[in-house]
Structure 1
Amino acid sequence: MDTGEQKVIIKNPTVEDAQVITDLISACDIEEIGEPDITLSDVLDIWNSVQIETDAWIALASTNEIIGYSFVEVTGANRMDTCVFVHPQYKNQGIGSLLLNKVEERANILAKGKDGVQTLMNQVPFNNIAARNLVENRGYQFSRLYERMKIELKSPPNVPYLHEGMTLRSFRPNHDEDTLFSIYDETFRDAWGYTKKDGSTWISQKKADDYDPSLWFIVWKDSEPVGFLMSRLQDDGVFIDLLGVKREYRKQGLGKAMLLHTFGLAYKRKQKTILLYVDSDSLTNANRLYQQVGMSPHSQTTVYSKQLTI
């Protein structure tokens, strides 16, 4: 394909391309937020639930250099997610449009035969005006703003406090899987963008290369699981993947206790950087909780949605 300024070949990636794709996304991150926000394990984690032979694409320059990347992932019964990346040196040459064409063509194929309205969610850095204009011109509607929050630990965090009868226990592999999925499903059911998932598939996807059961926790009220936190160690620090508390136990300090416990483990491991993403319009005002433990916004990502035509 000739974009006018650059001859581009679109093809599916192979596992051997993972590091180069990581470097490409890192270059985009550095331009947009000042530092990388991706690791090789992140890319491989996504590929655990994406068939790269059919659902991911790379754009190759005439020099055979990978200059663009996109994928589409089925993330629920009625939802798919995508991201499109173009190397900063090759922007404004139509490469993003070519990759998004592939995404939408494949998403429509995947949507055929499914019940209910199928929605494609597209994540775009807030300050990437060209990318936002591209998706808006293609019929996507603004849906949500997410903040990347961060803390650099300077000293050991405060000791977490739990009310009497509450205990925080580490996740037990081959024992707590059903419990963990059940509490995740209950606590995230009222979150924006929630879709029903298969428990065994969800767990297997979470147990990727950077899976560390010592960074997964469940809070119990006597024999009842009431909260959980899942995090993982990345090249750039500890990333908090999910945190949830049952509705009737919220505003009792459970979220704060799990965060401080995670901070303490990270500090002991000499991991001073803690990262997470949060919905700016969270129903539980999660932003406020993260700020209370010392985290602050670092960058923003917009989420756009589009109903698929089947």
Structure 2
Amino acid sequence: MIRVEWYEMVNELQGYRVCHPTLEHALGVTDLVALCDVEEMGEPDITLSDVLDMWKSIPIDTNAWIVHTSTNELIGYGFVEETGADRMDTCVFVHLRYKGLGIGTVLLQKVEERAKVLAKGKPGKQRLMNQLPFTNMAARNLVKNRGYHFCRLYERMKIVLEKQPQMTLLPEGVILKTFRPDVDEEALYSIYDETFRDAWGYSKKDATTWIAQKKGDGYDPSLWYIVWQNSFPVGFLMSRMQEDGLFIDLLGVKKEYRKHGIGKAMLQYVFGAAYERKQKTIILYVDSDSLTNANRLYQQVGMDIHSQTALYMKEI
């Protein structure tokens, strides 16, 4: 049974229904988020499989909310996800025709109330991260007024391939291999943990949970790669094919192997794999203040900044 709450808002439409979604709402949520994406950056950055994949990792009957009008139009969506031992992430979306009516505030209230419940009994301070378009000043002002502070800027980078990419040779003795399911999980997690441990916002997870979350909808082991020197992993790249292009999820290289062309070689290799599959659009997100200057590497291979996402934080 869906628990329903009613909020009266001062506008020409008096009734807005707030409830937890079911799987039947996944397509409506996808359409709403896509509409918000188009408004902010000119094109959608979400697919139905993205929503379903996320909903596998969060209990939507407690950690997600949707808002309907009296005519049953889905106009709002928000969620909170536990993404680490001391971190939770949230996003809130409101239909462009219904902004300024308090719907975003209601969803943020629900998110924060749930985050406080999730934080109880956990050691140390819990961080609630709110991601929103950098150009959306109304949303940024809303979260600032609720006690969040700006802490990071992420760039969505993109390239549309016009021809088969040129390959960069790996250093002598270093080889790239496709990920082998049920064989390389431990090696993959170890190189991820080592290369991202110092990254801002990193939160420790156990290997089994991390691998399971990455093997969601769109998982294709032929688009995961590990770079080896002898029997030791020194770099990795994880990507997946989406409706809007090939999405590069993570790329990392061990500190002592950086600046030797390994990251560039992995990128060009996956570009080539996408091109052979007749997918010419490549997308990724990068921290604009990356400690490894990853954004410079992406620019070197021809990627451009397409949009920016601001990350605001609030301690719970």
TM-score by length of 2: 0.97
Partner residue of 1:27? 35
Residues 1:118 and 2:126 aligned together: yes
Question: What SS is found at the alignment partner of 1:180?
Answer: helix
What's the offset of the Cα at 1:9? Answer: 1.1
Partner residue of 1:131? 139
- Count matched residues: 308
Q: Tell me if structure 1 keeps the 8 A contact 2:26–2:51.
A: yes
**CA deviation profile, 1:84-137 (whole Å, cap 9, x unmatched):** 000111111100000000000000000000011100000010111110010000
Partner residue of 2:267? 259
What's the offset of the Cα at 1:83? Answer: 0.2
Equivalent residues in 2 for 1:270-309, closer than 5 Å? 270-308=278-316
Partner residue of 2:240? 232
Unaligned runs of 5+ in 1: none
Q: Which amino acid aligns with 1:72?
A: V
What's the offset of the Cα at 1:164? Answer: 0.5
Q: CA RMSD in A?
A: 0.6
Residues 1:178 and 2:207 aligned together: no
Q: 1:4 aligns with which of 7, 10, 13?
A: 10
TM-score by length of 1: 0.98
Question: What SS is found at the alignment partner of 2:8?
Answer: coil
Q: 2:57 aligns with which of 43, 49, 57?
A: 49
**CA deviation profile, 1:135-162 (whole Å, cap 9, x unmatched):** 0000000000000000000000011310
**CA deviation profile, 1:39-68 (whole Å, cap 9, x unmatched):** 111111211211101000001111111100
Partner residue of 1:169? 177
Q: 2:47 aligns with which of 21, 39, 46?
A: 39
Equivalent residues in 2 for 1:244-255, closer than 5 Å? 244-255=252-263
Percent identity of equivalent pairs: 68
Residues 1:102 and 2:114 aligned together: no
Partner residue of 2:231? 223
What's the offset of the Cα at 1:198? Answer: 1.4
CA distance in 1, matches of 2:56, 2:152: 26
CA distance in 2, matches of 1:263, 1:109: 43
Q: 2:157 aligns with which of 149, 153, 157?
A: 149
**CA deviation profile, 1:258-301 (whole Å, cap 9, x unmatched):** 00000000000000000000000000000100000000000000
Q: Which amino acid aligns with 1:77?
A: A
Question: What SS is found at the alignment partner of 1:8?
Answer: strand
Question: What SS is found at the alignment partner of 1:44?
Answer: helix
Q: Which amino acid aligns with 1:95?
A: I
Partner residue of 2:222? 214
Question: What SS is found at the alignment partner of 1:145?
Answer: strand
CA distance in 2, matches of 1:270, 1:253: 26
What's the offset of the Cα at 1:17? Answer: 0.6
Q: Which amino acid aligns with 2:243?
A: D
Equivalent residues in 2 for 1:59-74, closer than 5 Å? 59-74=67-82
CA distance in 2, matches of 1:257, 1:249: 13
Q: Tell me if structure 1 keeps the 8 A contact 2:66–2:74.
A: yes
Q: Which amino acid aligns with 1:3?
A: M
CA distance in 1, matches of 2:151, 2:82: 18
